[in-house]
Amino acid sequence: MTYTISCVLLIPSQHRAALNVLADSLGYGPDNLSVRLVKADGAAWFGCHTWCEQAFLDQLVDPQYQGEVLSALIVSAVPGGDASANWTNSLEANGLSPLEEDPDP
């Protein structure tokens, strides 16, 4: 079993905690949505990149998990894709940018 799909997940800050709880309950561990992002309008978002299988994408559209949280989730899945390119393109397409920090504060 190998993970061949590059998958970027993006979500507004207010839904982050609920999505992380859902992911943990499905066996993907805690704090998956961990990268702090900011939208052009100043709104806080979070994102992540993971390699996945089709079964994971199927879960995202499974009726039993549908609701406000997954409705707000933006997914970019690219089979065999490049993680960095998928990430950069996904952020640009949604008007998002990373919240940078000074590495030597």
Partner 1 sequence: MITLPIASALSSAATREVSNPPRGSAYSPLKLFNAGEQGFWFDPNDLSTLFQDSAGTTPVTAAGQPVGLMLDKRLGLIKGKDIAGTGIERSGGSLVRNSFLDFTSTATSFAYLALSIPVSPVPYILVFNWKTTNNAGGTSRAFVWNEAGFTVLGLGVARGGDGSFIETIYVPAGAASIRAAVQLNGAAGANCKFTVSARSMPGNHATQPSQAGRPILREENGVRYLELDGIDDGMLIAGYRADVNWSSGVAARKSSSGGAFLFESPVTAANIYMGSGNNSVAVNAAPQNNGFSKAIALNADFTYAVSITGDNAGTGDMSLFCRYDGTNRSFYFGGRVYGMLQANKIMTPEQLVQVDKFMSGTMAPR
Residues that bind partner 1 (CB under 8 A): 1-4, 9, 23, 28-36, 47-51, 83-84, 87, 101, 103-104
Are the C-beta atoms of 47 and 15 separated by less than 8 Å? no
Residue nearer to partner 1 on the CB measure, 4 or 66: 4
Q: Give strand ranges (E) for the chain.
A: 5-12, 35-39, 44-52, 74-79, 96-98
- Shortest Cβ 24–partner 1 spacing (Å): 9
- Shortest Cβ 52–partner 1 spacing (Å): 8
- Phi and psi, residue 4, nearest 5°: -120, -5
Residue nearer to partner 1 on the CB measure, 39 or 59: 59
